[in-house]
């Protein structure tokens, strides 16, 4: 009987009826993919000359905001993998350099998301003086990206550019 149940369970799993990964991981990765797309499209849509745009003296320039996002992605995602690394995009100013830095930071995050499994999603990692799960840290990164995109949308509108999430499909 046990052997029969084991064979049935194996057949069901091989047939793809059982989910390959945790729904929480899948859903949160989809949220990450959405914001990643919006940020990268926004960085591309903003004209080169607007990378120096600063709505007020208290706000970052567009270039500084792009550098901040790239560096935060790098730091948070590598931290989720257990070894936080600093990015170097904060010092960049040109559109080409910053788009490349953003792409690189998202590639880093893509790798961490791809390596996140049921087995390691709840493993604890350090973020400054806090302990978070790997998945919690990745969700924190997506939250940060969403907050940053909200700021980006205002900058884009001030320059007469429609944010990607508002474009008619």
- pLDDT in the model for residue 22: 87
How is the chain split into domains, by residue range? 21-166
pLDDT tens digit sequence for 44-74: 999 999 999 999 999 999 999 999 999 999 9
Residue with tokens 């550019």: 161
Strands 124-127 and 130-133: antiparallel
Q: Would you say 146 and 138 are in contact if contact means Cβ atoms under 8 Å apart?
A: no
- pLDDT in the model for residue 106: 98
- pLDDT in the model for residue 125: 96
| Assigned token pair, 100 | 């490349």
| Assigned token pair, 31 | 């949220």
Phi, psi (5° rounding) for residue 85?
-120, 145
Give me Rg for the CA atoms of the chain.
20
Phi, psi (5° rounding) for residue 10?
-65, -45
Q: Mind listing the pLDDT tens digit of every residue in the chain (169 residues)? A: 434 333 343 443 444 444 456 899 999 999 999 999 999 999 999 999 999 999 999 999 999 999 999 999 999 999 999 999 999 999 999 999 999 999 999 999 999 999 999 999 999 998 888 999 999 999 999 999 999 999 999 999 999 999 999 998 7
- pLDDT in the model for residue 73: 98
pTM across the whole model: 0.87
Q: Quickly name the fold that domain 21-166 has.
A: 1.20.120
């Amino acid at each position: 009987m046990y052997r029969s149940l084991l064979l049935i369970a194996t057949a069901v799993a091989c047939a793809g009826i059982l989910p390959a990964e945790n729904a929480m991981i899948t859903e949160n990765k989809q949220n990450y993919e959405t914001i990643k797309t919006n940020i990268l499209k926004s960085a591309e849509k903003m004209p080169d000359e607007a990378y120096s745009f600063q709505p007020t003296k208290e706000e970052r320039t567009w270039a500084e905001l792009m550098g901040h996002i790239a560096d935060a992605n790098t730091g948070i995602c590598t931290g989720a993998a257990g070894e936080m690394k600093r990015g170097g995009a904060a010092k960049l100013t040109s559109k080409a350099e910053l788009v490349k830095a953003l792409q690189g930071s998202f590639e880093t995050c893509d790798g961490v998301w791809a390596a996140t499994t049921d087995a390691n999603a709840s493993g604890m990692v350090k973020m400054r003086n806090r302990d978070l799960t790997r998945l919690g840290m990745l969700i924190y990164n997506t939250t940060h990206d969403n907050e940053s995109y909200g700021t980006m949308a205002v900058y884009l509108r001030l320059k007469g550019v429609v944010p990607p999430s508002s474009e008619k499909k």
